[in-house]
Amino acid sequence: MADMSWNLEQELEQGRAPAWPQGGHDVGVLKLLRLRDQMKQLLMEYSAAVRGGETTFLDQVVEEKHIQGVTEDLQTDKEEIEVSFWNKTLALQRIQLMAALRNKMKQDDKDSCLILETVNRIVLLSQAIIKYQQLAHEKKQKLIDIKRKRLSLKKDQRRKLQQIQTMKKKQKKEKGNKNLDEAKMLQNLEKERLMTTVIQNVFQNIIIGSGVNWAEDPSLKAIVLQLEKNVHLP
Amino acid sequence: MAVLRPLDKLPGLNSAALLLVGSDEELQQKLAEAILQEKRDFKISIHIATSLPLPSERDHLRPRIDLIVFVIDIKSKCSLKNVEASLAYVDATFFLGKVCFLVTGVGRVNCCSIETNAICKLGEAYCSPMLFCELELEGVRVSTAQRLLRMLQICAGLVPGFSALSFSLLMRNSADD
C-alpha cells in the first residue's frame, strides 16, 4: 500500500502541467508579485496559528473563565452583526421594491394606473387614520385631565374630612373640660347649700331657743317662716 | 509521526499538496488524473492512500498536506468505517477548513447502503464541507476536479486575502441558509 502510493506520487508529479509560464522579463515581475502575495497569505496563516496557541495561563480556571468571557463577547458581537445584516437586507429589499415600482409606473399601462389608484387610496386611508388617531389622542388627553381633577377633588375631600375630625375631637375635649368644671361648680354649690341650710337651722333654733315671741314681730316671723323652707336650688 | 498536522512542515513556493483517502483506489486514480488535467498556474502533488496513518518511512519526503479529501462511497458501508477510523489520525487543527468529505456514487439511489443523514451528521460533527458527486461519470468527475482544485488553491494559501477557515465558514453559512 505504501509502495503503491509512492509510485502513484511519482507518476503524478511527472505528469503535471508546467507551473510557470515560459516567458520574458515582465512575466518574471508578475511571478514575483504573485509569490509575494502568496507568502503574505501564508505568513498570515502561520502567525494566526501561533497567536492561537499562545495564550498559556498558569491556572486552568482562569483560562477557562477567560475563554468563556471571550466566547460570550464573540456571541454578542455575532448576534449584533446578524441583526444589522438582516436590517440592511430589509432596507435593500425595500429600496429594490421602490425602484421596481417606480420603473413600472413610468411604463404607463393599465397596471400602473391600478398601482396609482391603490397608492392614492393608501394615501387617503392613511390621512383618515392620522385624523382619527389625533381625535383619539385629544379624547385621551381630556380623559386624563378629568381624572386629574377628580384626583385633586378627592384629595381636597380627604383634607376637609380630616379637618372636620380634628375639630370634632377638639370640641369633645372642650366639652369634657366644661363638664369637669361644671361638676366642680355643682359640687361647690351643693356644699354652700348645705352650709346655708345648716346656718338657717341654727338661726331658727336660736330664735326659738331665745323664747322671743316671734309671731308678733313681722320681720322675725318672716325670717322664721322663710327659714322653714329648705333652700332648694334647682 | 502518526497524526497529521497542518502546519508541521514549511510550505513550498507556489505549490499545493492534496491527499485523497478512500477505499476505492481506481476511482481516486481517475479523480487525480482529472485534477491534473485542469489548467492551473501552481505546482500540485496528489497523494492517494487507503487509510491513515500514513507510513512513517516516507514522512520526510512528503510535502506539507494542504487539503485532505475523504472519499466515501455511498454503496459500501466499509468505506465509511474506513474513513471514520482514519479521522482519528488527523489533528484537530486540520478541521479548520483543510478537510473535505467527498461522497461518491449518489447517482444510484437504490443502491445506497449508507443513509444521507449519517453522512450529513458526520460532516456537521467535523465542521467540514460535504461534496456529493458521481465519480463514474466523466462530466461530474471533471466538475468535481475543478471544485477540488479551487479548494486546494484556497487551502494552500495561494489565493491572497482568503484563508481556508473563511472559506469553510462561507460554505457552512450558505449551507445553513
pLDDT the model gives residue A14 = 54
> For chain B, what is the largest distance between any 2 Cα atoms, rounded to a whole number of angstroms?
46
Nearest-angstrom CA–CA distance, B164 and B94: 10
Confidence class of residue B59 from pLDDT cuts 50, 70 and 90?
confident
Mean pLDDT of chain B: 86
Domain region containing A82? 2-107
Q: Check B7 against A49: CB less than 8 A apart.
A: yes
Does any domain span residue B48? yes
Does any domain span residue A57? yes
C-alpha cell at A174: 372642650
User: Cβ contacts (< 8 Å) between B40 and chain A: which residues?
Assistant: 17, 19
Confidence class of residue A10 from pLDDT cuts 50, 70 and 90?
low
On the question of pLDDT at B1 being above 80, the answer is no
User: What DSSP element (H or E) covers A167?
Assistant: helix A110-209
Q: Check A2 against B58: CB less than 8 A apart.
A: yes
Does any domain span residue A82? yes
* DSSP characters over B58-91: GGGGS----EEEEEEETT-HHHHHHHHHHHTTB-
* b/e per residue A180-207 (b: at least 16 CB within 10 A): eeeeeeeeeeeeeeeeeeeebeeebeeb
User: Cβ contacts (< 8 Å) between B57 and chain A: which residues?
Assistant: 2
Residue whose cell numbers read 452583526? A81
Nearest to B40 by CA among B15, B65, B13: B15
Does any domain span residue B1? no
On the question of pLDDT at A194 being above 60, the answer is yes
Lowest mean pLDDT among A110-114, B108-112, B164-168: B108-112
Dihedral Cα B1, B3, B6, B7, nearest 10 deg: -40
Other C-beta atoms closer than 10 Å to the C-beta of B60 total 7
| Identity of the highest mean pLDDT range in A88-92, B98-102, B156-160 | A88-92
Overall average pLDDT of the A143-164 stretch: 97
- What total of structural domains would you count in chain A? 1
Q: Check B160 against A40: CB less than 8 A apart.
A: yes
Does any domain span residue B7? no
Does any domain span residue A66? yes
- Chain B residue with the nearest C-alpha to that of A46: B7
Domain region containing B148? 15-176
A11-35 pLDDT tens trace: 555 544 444 445 455 678 888 898 8
DSSP B53: S
DSSP B174: H
Nearest-angstrom CA–CA distance, B30 and A221: 168
Helix axis angle, A110-209 to A60-107, nearest 10° = 120
On the question of pLDDT at A188 being above 90, the answer is yes
DSSP B12: P
Indicate which CATH number applies to the domain containing B91: 3.40.50.300
Q: Respond yes or no on whether the N-terminal peptide bond of residue B53 is cis (omega within 30° of 0).
A: yes
Does any domain span residue A144? no
Number of Cβ pairs closer than 8 Å across A and B?
Answer: 71
pLDDT the model gives residue A34 = 86
Does any domain span residue B112? yes
Does any domain span residue A157? no
User: Cβ contacts (< 8 Å) between A38 and chain B: which residues?
Assistant: 13-14, 157-158, 160
- What total of structural domains would you count in chain B? 1
Residue B3 identity: V
Percent of chain B, pLDDT > 70?
A: 97
Phi/psi for B165 (5° steps) reads -65, -45
Provide the ipTM: 0.76
User: How many residues can be counted in chain A?
Assistant: 234
C-alpha cell at A71: 466566547
Does any domain span residue A18? yes
**Cα B23 → chain centroid:** 13
On the question of pLDDT at B146 being above 80, the answer is yes
| Identity of the highest mean pLDDT range in A14-23, A69-78, B24-33, B45-54 | A69-78
Instruction: Name the H helices within B10-163.
Output: 25-37, 77-87, 116-125, 138-155
Does any domain span residue A7? yes
Does any domain span residue B154? yes
Mean pLDDT of chain A: 84
Confidence class of residue A174 from pLDDT cuts 50, 70 and 90?
very high
Nearest-angstrom CA–CA distance, B118 and B116: 5
Does any domain span residue B9? no
Q: Check B58 against A42: CB less than 8 A apart.
A: no
Residue whose cell numbers read 421596481? A100
Task: Collapse the DSSP code of B45 into the 3-class scheme (helix H, G, I; strand E, B; otherwise coil) and give the result.
Answer: strand
Percent of chain A, pLDDT > 70?
A: 83
Does any domain span residue A77? yes
* b/e per residue A161-179 (b: at least 16 CB within 10 A): eeeeeeeeeeeeeeeeeee
Nearest-angstrom CA–CA distance, A7 and B70: 20
User: What DSSP element (H or E) covers B16?
Assistant: strand B15-21
Confidence class of residue B2 from pLDDT cuts 50, 70 and 90?
low
Nearest-angstrom CA–CA distance, A38 and B13: 8
On the question of pLDDT at B70 being above 70, the answer is yes
Overall average pLDDT of the A188-196 stretch: 90
On whether the CB atoms of residues B104 and B73 are closer than 8 A, the answer is yes
